[in-house]
Structure 1
Amino acid sequence: MIPVILSGGMGSRLWPLSRRLSPKQFLPLTGETSLLAMTVQHASQLPGASAPLLVCNADHRFLVSEQMAGLGIAPDSLILEPVGRNTAPAVAAAALYAVKTDPEALLLVLPADHLVPDTTAFAQAVAAGTPSAMAGKLVTFGIVPAYASTGFGYIRIHRSGDGGGSPISAFIEKPDQAKAEKLIADGDCYWNSGMFLLRAATYLQELERFAPKMPPMVARALAASQRDGDYIFLDHDAFSACPSDSIDYAVMEHTDKGLVVPLECGWSDVGAWPALWDIFPKDDQGNSTRGDVMAVKTSDSLVISNSRLVATLGVDNLVVVETPDAILVAGKDHAQGVKGIVEALQAAGREESDHHTKVDRPWGSYESLLAVDGFQVKRIIVHPGQRLSLQLHHRRQEHWVVVRGTAKVTCGEEVSTLRPNQSIYIPIETKHRLDNPGTTNLELIEVQIGDYLGEDDIERFEDEYGRV
C-alpha cells in the first residue's frame, strides 16, 4: 500500500497564518508538529505501508523535503505540480506513476492538512476497507458526524453495506443548518473526509470513463516530466492544459464502484478558524487563546498572537489572529469568508497573501524588518554549509553586516571572509554570492537601496537548488 499525500492546497481560509508560500499543512497549528508531518507519520506506520508518494506544488518542494528529513522518512518521490489542478489530476499523476512499477498498486490517498487524532481507529478503518479496495472498489472514509455541521459536505449511503463498506447513494454539498440537522437525523449520512483507498488501475479506469480528457493530459505531463533526485517536475504546458476537478466531481459521484467505510477518529479538516476553536482547549468563558493574549470580558472567541500583546475587551464570538504584518478580526460565524479577503489581496497585488515577513528558503530564511520607499532592511539567516545562488540585481545595491557566524562572500572577482561586526558593499549589476562555511547559523543584516526592491529583481547564474 502506497500512502499518497496530497499537499497542494493553499489553506486560504486560515489566513493570515496560512499563505500561498507557507500554507497550513506546513504549520504547527495544533501542536509542535505540522499537519503534513503528522499525516506522513500515521500513514507510514500503517501495516504494509511503503515509502510515501507526495504530490505538491513545485513552489513548496523545499518545505516538503525539509519536513520529511526532519521526520527521518525518505519519500518514494515528490510529484511536483506546476499549477494547481485540484485532486483528480493529482491522484491521476500518482496512479500513473505507481502502475509503472506495480500494476496492482493500492493507494491510500490522504490530504496533507487534515487532523486524525485517533490513529488506531484510522488504522482499523483502513484494514476494514482494504479487501474491498483490492477487489476493485473505490473506498472513501465517511466521518461519523459529531454534530450537524454546515462546514462539510456529506455522503449518503445505502444501508446494505457490511464492515467492508456501504454503497454510496449520493454526495451532498455543504448544507444550511436546517438541512444539516435533517441529514444527521436521517442516520445514513457521513461527513465527506476526502480520504480514499483504491487500486491505482481501478481509479484510472473510472477516470477514463467519466473524465476522458484528463488521463491522457496527465500522462503527457508525466511522460515529459523532468527528474531531479526525489523531485518529478510535471511538464508545465501539458499539466496546465488539464481540466481542474476534484475526485468527487470527476469520479466518485458517477461510479458504481464507490463504497463508504465509517470512521470515528476525532477527524477535522482544519478548514477554517472555527475548526481550530473547536480543537483548542478553552477557558471558563469559552475562549481559545495562543500566544501573548489578554482576554477581558470576552467569550467564545479564538485569539492568537504571534509577535505582540493582543488584548480584547467586551467582545464575544470573534476570531482574532495577529501576525507581524497582518491582523484578522472576524465574527466566528463569518470565518468561512476569509478566503474572500485573500482573493481581494491577490487582486490588489498585495504580498500579504503570498508570504509572511519571514520567508523560508532552502538555504535558511530572510525576514523583512523595515521597508520604505527606496530602501529595505532584512535579517538573513544561512544554515551551516549552505549558500545562496550566484546572482546579481539590476536595480538595487546592497550592504551586508555580519552579526553572528562566519560569511564567505563572493563579490565580483573578489572572495572574502567576514566575521561579526564586519561589512561589505555589493554594487548594482555585480555578481555576488553568500556562503556559510561554519558550523553554526550565519546571521547578517542586509540594507537594500534602489528604485525597485522586489524579489523578482534577481538574475541567477549558479544555484545549488536548481533555480537557475
Structure 2
Amino acid sequence: MSFLPVILAGGTGSRLWPLSRQLHPKQFLSLDDGPTMLQQTLERLDGLEKQAPIVICNEAHRFLVAEQLREIGADSSHILLEPVGRNTAPAIALAAMAATQDGDDPLLLVLAADHLIQDIEQFHSSIEKALSLAELGYLVTFGVVPTSPETGYGYIHQGPPLGPGFGVRRFVEKPDASTAAAYLKSGDYLWNSGMFLFRASRYLEELERFYPDILHACRQAMAHTKKDLDFTRLDDEEFAKCPDISVDYAVMEKTQHAAIVPLDARWSDLGSWSSLWDISDKCESGNSYHGDVIHEGTRNTLMHAESRLVVAIGLEDLVIVETKDAVLVADRRKSQDVKKIAERLKAEGRAEFENHRDVYRPWGRYESIDKGQRYQVKRITVNPGAKLSVQMHHHRAEHWIVVSGTAEVTNGHESYFVSENESTYIPIGQIHALRNPGTEPLELIEVQSGSYLGEDDIVRFEDDYGRA
C-alpha cells in the first residue's frame, strides 16, 4: 500500500546548541559522522512502497534541504517554503493541499526530520499497521512504548483495541515525575511521538470542522504559490494569518476518529544532550564521546569535540560540547536548560546563536578564519560547476588566493582563470563573479578589507539560485 511521506523540517533544535544553530539546526546535522538526520528520516523508508516526498521547511534552510536530498538521490521537486513558522497543523494542511491539487488523495505519513529510530524493522511494521487503519478513514498517530517515566514528553492514553491498533482516550500534557511513573506502571500510556498517518482529504475534513480559519488561510496561501527552482513559495501575507497551533491541539485531541499504533523501535526525538547520551554507545565508564577526546577518571559523561582536543579528568554526569566558536559544559541532568542559553544568545544578538563559523551556501560553504576592525579572512569552498552570484560591494575590496583547483573569475569587463598558488584582486564597487569550472572542489582564501564587512553589503545582479 503506497503512501506519500511528508517531512516537517522547520524546527530550530535549540536544546542541542552549540551544535545546532538557527541557520543550521539539528535536522541538517550528522551526529554520528553518517547521513544527516533529514537524510536518515528519508532513508529509513527504503523498502516501503512510497511516493516522492513533500518536505516543508523554513525559507532560510531551502538550499540545505535541496542539497541534502540531492546527496542521497531523493526527489527534491516538492519543497514547500514556510514564510513564517506556524506550527504543525498549518504545515500539514499545506502538504495535504499540495498532495491533492491534481485530483489525487494519497495517504500521508507525517514525520519530523529530527527524530531517531534505530529499529527499522519494527518501524516498518508499525507503518503497515497504521496504513490499514488510515485506509478505513482513521487519523492514526504513533505512540512510543515508554521505557522510563519521562517528564519531557506528552503522553497518549490508549483506548480499546481497534484492528491492529487502539482507540485514543485522551492526549495528556507533559507530566510531573510521580504522574509519569504512574503512567509507566499502568501500561496504558504511550509517548506522543508527533508522527501521523492519514488520508489527505480526511485531515482537511477534520481541520475544517475544528479550525476552518487555518484551512481558509492555507487555501489562500496555496492559491498564490510561485515556483522558484525546486521550491514552492507561498503567499506571505495569507499564510501569516494562520493561528500558530499544533496538529495535536487543532485536530487529534478533538476528532472522534483518532487511532494509535504502538511503536517499539528505539525512538528518540533527541530533544536534549542527555537524550543523545541515552542512546549513544558508551565505554565501560558510561562515557559517550565523539571526535578527539581523552578522558581520565570520568564517568557517565558525553564529550563531543568538533575541532580540537578535549580532555576530561575526574568528571561525572556532564555534557561537554566543543565547536570552533563555543564550548558548552553542563550538568547532564539539566541539559534541557541549554534552550535558555540559546534564547539568551538570541536576545543579545550573538552570532553564536545564528550560525557556525562554517556557513553553508547553495554553491558551497565558507569559514570565517579571522576578523578585525577593517579586515576579514575566509576559507571558501566552491562545489564543482557551481557559481557565486554576479555581484558588487559598496564598502569592501577582496583578494582571492587559490589554494586548490582553478577559479574562473569575472572582474569588471574581464574574464580569466586563476590557478593554484595564484591570486587576484577585486576593487571596491567592481562587478564580479566566481565560478568553479572543474570537477573537484575549488578552495581559496579570501581577504576582505574595507570600512564595512557585513554579509548584507552584497548587490546581486545575476544568480543561479534565485537570490538576485
Structure 2 length normalisation: TM-score? 0.97
User: Is 2:37 aligned against 1:40?
Assistant: no
What's 2:120 paired with? 119
The change in CA–CA distance for 1:75 and 1:415 in structure 2 (over 3 A counts) is closer
1:411-457 CA-to-partner distances (Å, cap 9, x unmatched) read 11122211122212211121111111122221111111122211111
User: Is 2:230 aligned against 1:196?
Assistant: no
What's 1:28 paired with? 30
SS in 1 for 2:34: coil
CA contact (8 A) 1:402 1:444 kept: yes
By how many angstroms is 1:265 displaced? 0.5
Once residues 340 and 457 of structure 2 are traced to their aligned partners in structure 1, the CA distance between those partners, rounded to angstroms, is: 30
What's 2:20 paired with? 18
SS in 1 for 2:346: helix
SS in 2 for 1:208: helix
What's 1:155 paired with? 156
User: Is 2:75 aligned against 1:74?
Assistant: yes
338-347 or 318-327: bigger deviation: 338-347
By how many angstroms is 1:272 displaced? 1.0
By how many angstroms is 1:76 displaced? 4.9
CA contact (8 A) 1:365 1:381 kept: yes
Kindly provide the amino acid, as one letter, of the partner of residue 70 in structure 2.
A
CA contact (8 A) 1:273 1:319 kept: yes
What's 2:145 paired with? 144
Once residues 138 and 285 of structure 2 are traced to their aligned partners in structure 1, the CA distance between those partners, rounded to angstroms, is: 47
What's 2:423 paired with? 423
SS in 1 for 2:378: strand
SS in 1 for 2:185: helix
SS in 1 for 2:85: coil
By how many angstroms is 1:104 displaced? 2.9
SS in 2 for 1:50: coil
1:355-405 CA-to-partner distances (Å, cap 9, x unmatched) read 111111111111100012211100011111111000111121111111111
Once residues 279 and 73 of structure 1 are traced to their aligned partners in structure 2, the CA distance between those partners, rounded to angstroms, is: 27
Kindly provide the amino acid, as one letter, of the partner of residue 142 in structure 1.
G
CA contact (8 A) 1:3 1:44 kept: no
Kindly provide the amino acid, as one letter, of the partner of residue 150 in structure 2.
S
1:65-123 CA-to-partner distances (Å, cap 9, x unmatched) read 11111111224511111221111111000001111124532101011111111111111
CA contact (8 A) 1:30 1:280 kept: no
What's 1:221 paired with? 221
Kindly provide the amino acid, as one letter, of the partner of residue 366 in structure 2.
Y
313-322 or 167-176: bigger deviation: 167-176
Once residues 29 and 215 of structure 2 are traced to their aligned partners in structure 1, the CA distance between those partners, rounded to angstroms, is: 32
Q: Percent identical across equivalent pairs?
A: 51
1:183-233 CA-to-partner distances (Å, cap 9, x unmatched) read 111211001100000011111111112222111111111111111343111
CA contact (8 A) 1:44 1:50 kept: no
User: Is 2:325 aligned against 1:325?
Assistant: yes
CA contact (8 A) 2:162 2:259 kept: no
By how many angstroms is 1:266 displaced? 0.6
The change in CA–CA distance for 1:31 and 1:379 in structure 2 (over 3 A counts) is closer
Once residues 462 and 75 of structure 1 are traced to their aligned partners in structure 2, the CA distance between those partners, rounded to angstroms, is: 23
What's 1:6 paired with? 8
Kindly provide the amino acid, as one letter, of the partner of residue 12 in structure 1.
S
Kindly provide the amino acid, as one letter, of the partner of residue 265 in structure 1.
A
Superposition pairs of residues 190-339 of structure 1, within 5 angstroms? 190-339=190-339
104-113 or 167-176: bigger deviation: 167-176
What's 1:388 paired with? 388
By how many angstroms is 1:300 displaced? 1.0
Kindly provide the amino acid, as one letter, of the partner of residue 138 in structure 2.
K
**Structure 1 gap segments, 5+ residues each:** none
CA contact (8 A) 2:70 2:76 kept: no
Once residues 297 and 216 of structure 1 are traced to their aligned partners in structure 2, the CA distance between those partners, rounded to angstroms, is: 60
SS in 2 for 1:161: strand
Superposition pairs of residues 339-378 of structure 1, within 5 angstroms? 339-378=339-378
235-244 or 345-354: bigger deviation: 235-244
What's 1:456 paired with? 456
What's 2:133 paired with? 132
CA contact (8 A) 1:396 1:453 kept: yes
What's 2:179 paired with? 179
User: Is 2:60 aligned against 1:55?
Assistant: no
SS in 2 for 1:43: coil
CA contact (8 A) 1:103 1:201 kept: no
The change in CA–CA distance for 1:390 and 1:5 in structure 2 (over 3 A counts) is same
Structure 1 length normalisation: TM-score? 0.97
Once residues 439 and 394 of structure 1 are traced to their aligned partners in structure 2, the CA distance between those partners, rounded to angstroms, is: 33
Once residues 163 and 28 of structure 1 are traced to their aligned partners in structure 2, the CA distance between those partners, rounded to angstroms, is: 38
122-131 or 69-78: bigger deviation: 69-78
Please give the root-mean-square deviation of Cα atoms over the aligned residues, in Å: 1.3
269-278 or 172-181: bigger deviation: 172-181
Once residues 196 and 77 of structure 2 are traced to their aligned partners in structure 1, the CA distance between those partners, rounded to angstroms, is: 19
By how many angstroms is 1:44 displaced? 4.5
Kindly provide the amino acid, as one letter, of the partner of residue 294 in structure 1.
I
Once residues 333 and 339 of structure 1 are traced to their aligned partners in structure 2, the CA distance between those partners, rounded to angstroms, is: 14
CA contact (8 A) 2:116 2:270 kept: yes
What's 1:409 paired with? 409
What's 1:88 paired with? 89
CA contact (8 A) 2:229 2:466 kept: no
The change in CA–CA distance for 1:123 and 1:205 in structure 2 (over 3 A counts) is same
Deviating beyond 3 angstroms after TM superposition, the runs of 4 or more aligned structure 1 residues are none
SS in 1 for 2:179: helix
132-141 or 97-106: bigger deviation: 97-106
